[in-house]
Chains A and B, each alone.
Chain A
Amino acid sequence: GAGVSQSPSNKVTEKGKDVELRCDPISGHTALYWYRQRLGQGLEFLIYFQGNSAPDKSGLPSDRFSAERTGESVSTLTIQRTQQEDSAVYLCASSLGGAGWDEQYFGPGTRLTVT
């Protein structure tokens, strides 16, 4: 079946512009995560959605970052007034969201370059 998809795969933007990244989770997955991966580094957690619960935004680095999810479907990550340090691969993952072990399936990521 279809996995997690993300778009665009690559995005180059000028400093100060806003960008919107999209994630389509696996159908039926109630949990959705956004991570950021800078070059040569591990993944940094950004935000987590679980069903209709309030999202866990504890990983968002600044108020320039926001994310939305409509129901249990598509999510968008928005970065306003982009800075060069925002350059990274942004990864989305989804999972069934049940109690206990819950494998996360990752998308291919969006590579953001801020010039």
Chain B
Amino acid sequence: DAKTTQPTSMDCAEGRAANLPCNHSTISGNEYVYWYRQIHSQGPQYIIHGLKNNETNEMASLIITEDRKSSTLILPHATLRDTAVYYCIVRVSTGANSKLTFGKGITLSVRP
């Protein structure tokens, strides 16, 4: 699976958009970009995933660059409960042996 790089941390004000970047310059054509988050003392939680088109769900939006070498997770209106570690992962989407390889992620702190 391709390696990802993320900043160590960032913060944003409550109610503002949080834009979390991720670089995955060695991504292969059949690898998807996934985002998970982990709130303190809880297990990771799936947020969103995409291949090359931008995606949006009730939690967030995912913007993938045209060359697919980087992406941005957008939380449109961050709340204090969004404070967590956010993991960007790239892997082949397959039911067979779909283990997730997590890096250290980016710690998002939402301030009042």
- List chain A positions with a Cβ less than 8 A from chain B: 4, 31, 33, 35, 40-45, 48, 50, 56, 59, 91, 93, 95-109
Number of A-B contacts (CB under 8 A): 67
When the two chains form their complex, are residues B46 and A109 in contact, meaning their CB atoms are under 8 A apart?
no
In this complex, what residue of A is CB-closest to B98? A102
Given A33-B99, A103-B46, A104-B98, the answer on whether A42 and B93 have CB atoms closer than 8 Å is no
Chain B contact residues (Cβ within 8 angstroms of A): what range? 20 to 34
Q: Is the interface of B mostly helix, strand, loop or mixed?
A: loop
When the two chains form their complex, are residues A45 and B100 in contact, meaning their CB atoms are under 8 A apart?
yes
Q: Which of A45, A96, A105 contacts B99 (CB 8 A)?
A: A45
1/0 per residue, CB under 8 A from A, across B75-112: the answer is 00000000000010000011111111111110000000
When the two chains form their complex, are residues B102 and A43 in contact, meaning their CB atoms are under 8 A apart?
yes
When the two chains form their complex, are residues A42 and B43 in contact, meaning their CB atoms are under 8 A apart?
no
